Amino acid sequence: MKTQDMNRDWIATAATLSSALPYLQRYDGAIVVIKLGGHAMGSDEAMESFARDVVLLRHVGVNPVVVHGGGPMINAMLKKLDIQSEFVNGKRVTDQATVEVVEMVLSGVVNKRIVQAINAQGGTAVGLSGKDANLMICDQTDSSLGFVGTPSEMNPKLLQDLFAHDVIPVIAPLGAGRNGETFNINGDTAAGAIAAALKADRLLLLTDVSGVKNAAGEVVTELKAGQIREMTREGTIAGGMIPKTETALDALHSGVRAVVILDGRAPNAVLLELFTEHGAGSLIRPD
């Protein structure tokens, strides 16, 4: 006979699960696009934790879509292959040799690592790029930058078909050109375009910062689009946060219900954001 006493940790765990019920009901059937980058991709432990969270989302009725980056891995491979890069205004020129490496790394090593991690946790994940089923048709962003593209036509039916079969799409940010080109797309931009095409309930941008900060350096947990624009004009939002908030504003304008910029370094950040009252980052809503 085995006996044990209830302890406070168990009771707190049960209370946490119980309090999550209204959020589980709220997101049942919802589409949540997650941009994965930074620390969450940096270690096997972080990847395993992220993959477990994504599988949990699928099992409670959420339709997750993972869009990933891979800049450090691309840089490492370019160095290994001794391919020199040119820069225009601080941005890498993606020539033919470079875009071939970008596709090899993003659609190959990085994408399949994430797919394998999700499958290892009991999910069913499939790796794609924006070239598959013409998911993202791109136009060249700037001729001086070479094969860097901006999504101009989206075809999300394949993703909707995968949802119907409980499959989790994992998407590398590459797109097809109108003349057979391959274009590299900024990961945040790709995630925003996919979220907009799906009219997603949430777009989660995982970063290595805790969220959008005000002038006092404090994380602002909830903002409207107009406040983002004002903080940018004032210079409170600056540097690397600008492209993320611009992605958020574009997504909101295109029909995404809300965007969250959150710290991907925090354990179970996605679950905290979706299934707890306090969330885990900066929630941005339309005006």
Cα separation, 57 vs 77, whole angstroms: 33
List 131, 149, 175, 244, catalytic entry:
244
List 188, 211, 263, 281, catalytic entry:
188
**Binding site for substrate, residues?**
70-71, 92, 184
Task: Verify whether residue 142 is a known catalytic residue.
Answer: no
Task: Verify whether residue 188 is a known catalytic residue.
Answer: yes
**What is residue 90's predicted lDDT score, i.e. its pLDDT?**
67
Element (H, E) at 273: helix 269-275
Angle at CA of residue 274, ends 172 and 117, nearest 5°: 40
Burial (CB < 10 A; 0-12, 13-18, 19+), residue 134, is middle
**What is residue 43's predicted lDDT score, i.e. its pLDDT?**
83
Task: Verify whether residue 38 is a known catalytic residue.
Answer: yes
Task: Give the single-character DSSP code of 165.
Answer: T
Tokens of 249: 């504003």
pLDDT tens for the chain, 287 residues: list them. Answer: 554 555 667 777 777 778 888 888 989 999 999 999 866 677 888 899 999 999 999 999 999 999 999 988 998 999 999 998 888 876 788 999 999 999 999 999 999 999 999 999 999 999 999 999 999 999 999 999 999 999 999 999 999 999 999 999 999 999 999 999 999 999 999 999 999 999 999 999 998 888 999 999 899 999 999 999 999 999 999 888 998 999 999 999 999 999 999 988 888 999 999 998 877 889 999 99
List 38, 130, 175, 192, catalytic entry:
38
Tokens of 225: 């689009």
Instruction: Enter the pTM of the model.
Output: 0.92
**What is residue 266's predicted lDDT score, i.e. its pLDDT?**
85
Cα separation, 68 vs 268, whole angstroms: 17
Cα separation, 248 vs 236, whole angstroms: 16
Q: By C-alpha distance, which of 245, 244, 243, 221 is closest to 231?
A: 245
In contact, 258 and 5? CB cutoff 8 Å: no
Rg (CA), the chain: 20
**What is residue 140's predicted lDDT score, i.e. its pLDDT?**
96
**Contacts of 86 by beta carbon, 8 Å cutoff, 6+ apart:** 92, 93, 95
**What is residue 78's predicted lDDT score, i.e. its pLDDT?**
93
First-to-last alpha carbon distance for the chain, in angstroms, is 61
H and E: helices and strands count for the chain? 11, 14
HEC string of 181-223 equals CEEECCHHHHHHHHHHHHCCCEEEEEECCCCCECCCCCECCEE
In contact, 222 and 285? CB cutoff 8 Å: yes
In contact, 34 and 67? CB cutoff 8 Å: yes
DSSP per position, 77-140: HHHHTT----EETTEE-B-HHHHHHHHIIIIIIIHHHHHHHHHHTT--EEEEETTGGG-EEEEE
Q: By C-alpha distance, which of 115, 107, 187, 194 is closest to 156?
A: 194
